[in-house]
Amino acid sequence: MKHQTKEERVADYLREGIISGKFPRGSKLKQAELAEMIGTSITPVREAIKLLEAEGFILGTSHRGAVVAPFDIDATEEIVDLRVTLECKLALRAMGKLTSEQVQELRGLQDQLETAASAGDRDSVRTINYRFHEVLYLAAELPQTLRFVRALWARYPFDLINKLDSRIGRASDEHHEMLSAILSRDEGAMLSALRTHIRAGWDEFKANYTG
């Protein structure tokens, strides 16, 4: 497994926190508070924020400091199309490279996802969903493609979609279909399930969005 620097570990923590809603859209990120929360110095936090700013998760302003990027509905249709293209590429590549340990990790995450969905724990579902996709896509060993995917995630309304009634249960079911295809090494079924998963949340959100 690739060794991570302190900055990369902090970036992972912040990225997951933004997607899971721990750091809400529009909220200000204070470096000193983050460093204390994570248990590190200011320097890796500062460098991690620069990385996430480049990816689009964070907006940096000279006066306000770092702010979690807001959601732009006008850009999301294109983002969904790009997500399908790039994430299917990553998933297909990963199918042939997943180790037994990674498969077991995906199994464990799916178990956690189903438990959280059954309990109605929306925040945990979002976090576990992120970890599942990260594990799968990291296995592809296509770091530049994954970097672009993360930039798309930064602009995607995960927080709003997960508030939809029963969405977390449907997301859990969609993940179950993906994992079943992975375990059976069925590439076609995997790609079909992933496309459905990506598009379903957005289609449901559009049908309910009132501005």
pTM here?
Answer: 0.80
Could you report the per-residue pLDDT of 115-133, keeping only the tens digit for each? Answer: 999 999 998 998 999 999 9
pLDDT of residue 133: 97
Task: Identify the pLDDT of residue 1.
Answer: 47
pLDDT value at residue 4: 77
Q: What's the token pair of residue 83?
A: 């997500």
Looking at domain 73-208, its CATH class is mainly alpha
DSSP label of 66? E
CATH architecture of 6-68: Orthogonal Bundle (1.10)
Ordered by start, the domain boundaries in the chain are 6-68, 73-208
How large is the greatest C-alpha to C-alpha distance in the chain, in angstroms? 53
Parts of the chain with a pLDDT under 70 = 1-3, 61-64, 210-211
Rounded Cα distance, 96 and 182, in Å: 10
Tell me whether domains 6-68 and 73-208 share a fold: no
